[in-house]
Structure 1
């Protein structure tokens, strides 16, 4: 079947872009060399940092790879109610009052004392994540595919990428978001189920809705989106084995996107404590929380999440910048109880395999799952 995604992979495995260091050039290149689609995560990087990583991946592989960008978010309003933000992109979340941030700063002040590091200043780091500069780099140095998280770009941005031959993928968490992305001109969608580790890619974070109270499991969501749009779909959320890839392909996806499955790989840039925590019996389950970043994100449940999650405001990226130093200090101290241990629901199935080997194993499992009924003598 002809698809705009044809030629991006030989094996229908996409390595999820994981911001914060896990999706490093070595990981993306190893996945691409094995026949999957590797991704760089542009989130939290400077534009020059992203450019340098592009050069590194291109030095390691001639295979297709992609880059993910975070959509800019709204600014906090002034105390007097005046607006400070430029127009937000499609679906961007509403701004949060500074009072809510002040309360959370008080809530986590003890962490700064414990780790002997100051809380970050949300106003120091901006709200757009260098989005325009990164878009400009990717238009000057085109890659085969660019994906977007936390919203949908304006049609003119999608059209600009089309002119340079780059295919665009928008992350969606509902059928309504999928329809909006199709109307905007996206080439394909990444359908993210609630099982996924790290940030939910919702286009709008409603502060009135607790993390985890909204969202659908991947297979149900994939079916709803498949019936709502005609675009090619990539399925994401809790996928750790080839049999699960077979299931999402049968449900209408063209590939599966895996993040947590690649975290434990030696090429992954994740902190060693994070890698070990995936299968450590101390960490029994995951939850969606705003504790670390101000946006719902699935993490292994640790002390920081339990103590502060219920009080975290819907304030991304302000909370991310506020807690960034704490998380780094916790890692430096060897304390996973203070780190953001992003992980999907299938984290206990993580395998410490080289990334290329993992792609081959997943493909073998996929083939086995696809032939299983015949092997059992079923028609």
Structure 2
């Protein structure tokens, strides 16, 4: 709990890969007394290193997606089904580059260039990897969505658990690509009974009033918020995504865009393809990337992945600094 004990505000900014989590957002949260997280996924090694190094003057953490093995799903068949959408946006079929997201190189770089914290999503670091990070003074956290995942992470030697409920926006952090539905409050209590590790609550939390009861009851030691930061000045959220935060009420969990369950604002592409999208990450992520880029550039929300949690309509247009100050008051 070394890092958690250093925080004057027990709030962590979630690592939102693909654009929203900028170094500026992480720095603002850290300077306000919380902990800013940098999303290390979906970056090549040069961009990854540059973003990490830009945060050296503040306390921060880095998140990595652990690689998924091929699922054996028929990606070509799904590509054929979404072909009309690709044609609509004059977008080519995106091709898978590297399945492992440069994970070995990123991990090795973090050992050679230590940071205060590294967290994992889609799995736990193994015992040797945890030891390697500990040896260079790095704390290690793991995102879990079930008791069994929490027990596996604890056995590998991690320092804390990010307990993610189904209310969370973006990708579910499950190890096997599933989407457990146990509500956050119940999951926190179940993990509390199974493990003595510190718990960081994640999922649907939008301000200090949401977080305070979890801290006061002992269910959590801190909270990780993502959607609450999406409309801040420091976030890299696309304008059309910002607009849809308040314009559209419904969110749902889908594999349609990336091949892994992720909660986002419901749109036409999700309605058309959530039922037939296979479990195939990152294959589908790369397959749909050109289409999503074209839709985003056109300001068209119908074919864009707009990750958001269940509390998304409460996201406010403000600076992260101002939100953190307000939440600190609510937590008193």
TM-score (norm 2): 0.97
Q: Distance in 2 between matches of 1:299 and 1:23?
A: 16
1:156-200 deviation per Cα after TM superposition (whole angstroms, max 9, x unaligned): 000000001100000000011001100111111100000000000
Counterpart of 1:230 in 2: which secondary structure?
coil
Question: 1:121 Cα deviation (Å)?
Answer: 1.6
Matched, 1:120 2:118: no
Counterpart of 1:195 in 2: which secondary structure?
coil
User: Which residue of the partner structure matches residue 27 of structure 1?
Assistant: 25
Q: Distance in 2 between matches of 1:7 and 1:165?
A: 16
2:120/2:143 contact within 8 Å kept = yes
Q: Distance in 2 between matches of 1:337 and 1:151?
A: 31
User: Which residue of the partner structure matches residue 131 of structure 1?
Assistant: 103
- 1:108 aligned residue (82, 107, 116): 82
1:222/1:251 contact within 8 Å kept = no
Counterpart of 1:168 in 2: which secondary structure?
strand
Question: 1:243 Cα deviation (Å)?
Answer: 1.5
1:290-315 deviation per Cα after TM superposition (whole angstroms, max 9, x unaligned): 00000000000001100111110000
Consecutive unaligned residues of structure 2, counting only runs of 5 or more, are none
Question: 1:215 Cα deviation (Å)?
Answer: 2.2
User: Which residue of the partner structure matches residue 263 of structure 2?
Assistant: 298
Question: 1:8 Cα deviation (Å)?
Answer: 4.1
User: Which residue of the partner structure matches residue 42 of structure 1?
Assistant: 40
2:206/2:227 contact within 8 Å kept = yes
- 1:344 aligned residue (306, 309, 325): 309
1:53-85 deviation per Cα after TM superposition (whole angstroms, max 9, x unaligned): 012222xxx33100000001113xxxxxxxxxx
Listed as ranges, the matches of 1:211-230 within 5 Å are 214-230=180-196
Find the structure with the greater CA-based Rg. Answer: 1
Q: Distance in 1 between matches of 2:257 and 2:72?
A: 16
Q: Distance in 2 between matches of 1:247 and 1:324?
A: 39
1:147/1:168 contact within 8 Å kept = yes
Counterpart of 1:177 in 2: which secondary structure?
helix
2:4/2:222 contact within 8 Å kept = no
Consecutive unaligned residues of structure 1, counting only runs of 5 or more, are 76-94, 207-211, 368-379
User: Which residue of the partner structure matches residue 285 of structure 1?
Assistant: 250
1:138-173 deviation per Cα after TM superposition (whole angstroms, max 9, x unaligned): 111111111000001111000000001100000000
Matched, 1:53 2:18: no
Matched, 1:267 2:229: no
- 1:308 aligned residue (273, 290, 311): 273
Q: Distance in 2 between matches of 1:9 and 1:321?
A: 37
Q: Distance in 1 between matches of 2:282 and 2:81?
A: 17
Q: Distance in 2 between matches of 1:236 and 1:314?
A: 23
Q: Distance in 2 between matches of 1:108 and 1:143?
A: 41
User: Which residue of the partner structure matches residue 224 of structure 2?
Assistant: 257
- Relative to structure 1, the CA distance from residue 8 to residue 271 in structure 2 (aligned partners, 3 Å threshold; closer, same or farther) is farther
1:263/1:275 contact within 8 Å kept = yes
- 1:72 aligned residue (67, 70, 75): 67
Q: Distance in 1 between matches of 2:232 and 2:319?
A: 5
**Residues matched between the structures, number:** 331
TM-score (norm 1): 0.85
Q: Distance in 1 between matches of 2:323 and 2:266?
A: 26
Question: 1:5 Cα deviation (Å)?
Answer: 3.1
User: Which residue of the partner structure matches residue 7 of structure 2?
Assistant: 9
Question: 1:112 Cα deviation (Å)?
Answer: 1.1
Q: Distance in 2 between matches of 1:6 and 1:265?
A: 24
Matched, 1:236 2:202: yes
Question: 1:96 Cα deviation (Å)?
Answer: 2.0
Question: 1:266 Cα deviation (Å)?
Answer: 0.8
2:239/2:299 contact within 8 Å kept = no
- 2:295 aligned residue (294, 314, 330): 330
Q: Distance in 2 between matches of 1:6 and 1:332?
A: 39
Counterpart of 1:279 in 2: which secondary structure?
helix
